[in-house]
Amino acid sequence: MLFCKPLRNKSRYKPFRQIDKTFSFSEFEKASLLNKKDWDEVVSEKTIFFNTEYLRLIERSTHVDLKCRYIILYKNEKPCGIIYFQLTDFKANVFGDLLHGEINEIKSNRMKLFEKYVEAQKEEEVLFRMLMCGNNLISGEYGFLKSDNISHSDFYKLLCTLIKTISAEENLRGKISAILIKDFYEPVKEIEKSDSFKVESFSVEPNLVVEIPKEVKTLNDYLQLFSKKYRNRAKAILKNRENFKIKILSEEEIEKNKKQLFLLYENIYSRAKFKLLQLPSDYFSEVKKIFKERFCIKGFYVNDELVAFSSGFLMPDNSIEAHYIGLNYKSNEELELYQNILYDFVETAITNGNSEVNLGRTAAEIKTTIGAKANELICYIQPQNTVSRLIVKPFIEFLKPKDWIPRNPFKEEVSAV
């Protein structure tokens, strides 16, 4: 594959830039400028997270400076793949938050150098610019998609070529510190063995997935698969339902409660160990407008007060994708709302006849107590300069999953369910 010569300014956005005699690509700097027909031809019904209206909403995410880049790959001028980038500027104050959090546990000479370097910078100064192939708001392989008219091998080789091209062109505007490609369920040999695109691989927190056995028709059926210890624990958690109500919110109710929904979300966000992208304040109401039937928000009410919510997507593959939640932490302590939210996702999947629930990352041990299994995720990173190499090592250590104990709530004879 050829490496495309970096271009400046608007020349980058000319359509059908040649890679070789067979393949070309077009680049766009905003979702609103995309060739929607060609983009949608690749996306088809495979997933919902490449929806152009949704990508436009993500462009309004805050906390760090975010720019997006969109690539449509062509084979003989017919669309055969799409690639999605988020270009993120991390300011010194973001890494300052990180340093004063859990990353202080990482003790090394490299870490001390990194800490001194951060402290020497002004808070609003851009410290680290990352070009990421993927989506910070969603776990999984949402940085690219291919159609059937291109081979797996060709696509990943072209992916490496285009990542090099786009990063080189972004370097003309300001130095890229590192390139990150996320999240893979299996190693990709075309990336790992690329001669022109050397990367380091590392694992991040796994996705937690609950598989719903076909014979299970109710939540009680599901709990019968548990050992006595975990079944009694689940019943004690679910007994708290007597003290709150769960309600599916209509589009109008989401709009009416959007301020409270965002406040509850912010409670979770404020405790995040590394605050990257923050959702726009109208995120939940706007997502409901985009995905009317596929997006659901449930409100958890105590005495008519909204004290928690869950949100999730009905995916094209008949699974449920748990999305963001929000909590009043005082109510959570009293009523075990978080674990009730998890069980409600499972019950919803059972009722709807869904095959599985993807509960996402974080709180892995708690999620395994309700029957979730960990699916490991691999990322690839390539530092671009001396300073980024200084930063990347502790950054990777920070992103790696911490030690945790997987639990198996199932009876011995159904432990493989």
pLDDT score for 106: 47
Evaluate if residue 203 carries a pLDDT over 70: yes
Residue 331 belongs to domain with CATH number: 3.40.630.30
Evaluate if residue 292 carries a pLDDT over 90: yes
Residue 198 pLDDT grade (very low, low, confident, very high; cuts 50, 70, 90): confident
| Alpha carbons 265 and 74: distance in angstroms, whole number | 40
pLDDT score for 287: 97
Which residue is it, tokens 């890229």?
Answer: 176
pLDDT score for 402: 81
Q: Centre a 10 Å sphere on the Cβ of residue 292 and count the other Cβ atoms it contains.
A: 9
pLDDT score for 97: 52
| Alpha carbons 39 and 57: distance in angstroms, whole number | 17
Task: Provide CB contacts within 8 A for 246, sequence distance 6+.
Answer: 298, 299, 300, 301, 344
pTM, two decimals, is: 0.89
| Alpha carbons 151 and 242: distance in angstroms, whole number | 54
pLDDT score for 98: 53
Evaluate if residue 272 carries a pLDDT over 90: no
Average pLDDT over residues 257-273: 92
Residue 130 pLDDT grade (very low, low, confident, very high; cuts 50, 70, 90): confident
The answer to whether residues 193 and 99 belong to one domain is yes
Q: Centre a 10 Å sphere on the Cβ of residue 323 and count the other Cβ atoms it contains.
A: 19
| Alpha carbons 244 and 399: distance in angstroms, whole number | 36
The answer to whether residues 220 and 118 belong to one domain is no
| Alpha carbons 60 and 38: distance in angstroms, whole number | 24
| Alpha carbons 18 and 299: distance in angstroms, whole number | 51
- The DSSP code sequence of 271-304 is T-SS---B--TTHHHHHHHHSTTTEEEEEEEETT
Task: Provide CB contacts within 8 A for 12, sequence distance 6+.
Answer: 27, 169
Which residue is it, tokens 């890679």?
Answer: 19
The answer to whether residues 316 and 385 belong to one domain is no
Domain limits for position 287: 213-354
Which residue is it, tokens 């407008």?
Answer: 289
pLDDT score for 191: 94
Torsion angle (degrees, nearest 10) of CA 254, 256, 261, 266: 130
Over the stretch 53-84, which tens digit does the pLDDT of each residue have? 999 999 998 767 789 999 999 999 999 999 99
Counting Cα atoms < 13 Å in the Cβ hemisphere of 303 gives 1
pLDDT score for 90: 75
- The DSSP code sequence of 114-148 is HHHHHHTS-TTSEEEEEEEES-TTS-SS-SEEE-T
Say if 372 falls within a structural domain. Answer: no
Say if 253 falls within a structural domain. Answer: yes
Evaluate if residue 414 carries a pLDDT over 70: no
Q: Are 87 and 69 in contact (CB under 8 A)?
A: yes
The answer to whether residues 177 and 322 belong to one domain is no
CA–chain centroid gap for 208, Å, is 13
Average pLDDT over residues 248-276: 91
Say if 121 falls within a structural domain. Answer: yes
The answer to whether residues 35 and 158 belong to one domain is yes
Evaluate if residue 269 carries a pLDDT over 70: yes
pLDDT score for 173: 59
Evaluate if residue 102 carries a pLDDT over 50: no
Average pLDDT over residues 92-120: 52
Which residue is it, tokens 């706007």?
Answer: 286
Average pLDDT over residues 1-18: 70
The answer to whether residues 253 and 130 belong to one domain is no
The answer to whether residues 194 and 237 belong to one domain is no
Paired tokens of 17 = 């830039």
Evaluate if residue 127 carries a pLDDT over 60: yes
Paired tokens of 90 = 């991390």
Sign of CA dihedral 127, 133, 135, 136: negative
How many helices (DSSP H) and strands (DSSP E) are in the chain? 15, 14
**Nearest-CA neighbor of 210 among 234, 245, 228?**
234
Over the stretch 30-45, which tens digit does the pLDDT of each residue have? 999 999 999 999 998 8
Say if 387 falls within a structural domain. Answer: yes
Residue 351 pLDDT grade (very low, low, confident, very high; cuts 50, 70, 90): very high
Evaluate if residue 352 carries a pLDDT over 50: yes
CA distances from 47 to 141, 143, 158, 347 (A): 11, 12, 22, 23
Say if 201 falls within a structural domain. Answer: yes
pLDDT score for 56: 96
More confident: 392 or 18: 18
The answer to whether residues 66 and 154 belong to one domain is yes
pLDDT score for 160: 94
Residue 328 pLDDT grade (very low, low, confident, very high; cuts 50, 70, 90): very high
Q: Are 153 and 51 in contact (CB under 8 A)?
A: no
Average pLDDT over residues 188-200: 88
Residue 172 pLDDT grade (very low, low, confident, very high; cuts 50, 70, 90): low
The answer to whether residues 139 and 155 belong to one domain is yes
Residue 395 belongs to domain with CATH number: 3.40.630
Say if 412 falls within a structural domain. Answer: no
DSSP 412: G
More confident: 96 or 71: 71
Lowest mean pLDDT among 123-127, 175-179, 220-224: 123-127
pLDDT, mean over the chain: 87
Evaluate if residue 415 carries a pLDDT over 50: no
pLDDT score for 1: 44
In total, how many domains does the chain have? 2
Average pLDDT over residues 116-137: 71
Task: Provide CB contacts within 8 A for 305, sequence distance 6+.
Answer: none
Residue 346 pLDDT grade (very low, low, confident, very high; cuts 50, 70, 90): very high
| Alpha carbons 373 and 244: distance in angstroms, whole number | 29
Say if 222 falls within a structural domain. Answer: yes
| Phi, then psi, of 178 in degrees rounded to 5 | -160, 155
Q: Are 311 and 96 in contact (CB under 8 A)?
A: no
The answer to whether residues 322 and 290 belong to one domain is yes
Average pLDDT over residues 191-209: 89
Average pLDDT over residues 295-312: 98
Strand partners, 213: none
Paired tokens of 80 = 């055969």
Average pLDDT over residues 77-99: 79
CA distances from 105 to 101, 115, 321, 398, 399 (A): 8, 13, 32, 9, 13
The answer to whether residues 201 and 76 belong to one domain is yes
Evaluate if residue 11 carries a pLDDT over 50: yes
Q: Are 141 and 189 in contact (CB under 8 A)?
A: no
Average pLDDT over residues 118-144: 78
DSSP 104: G
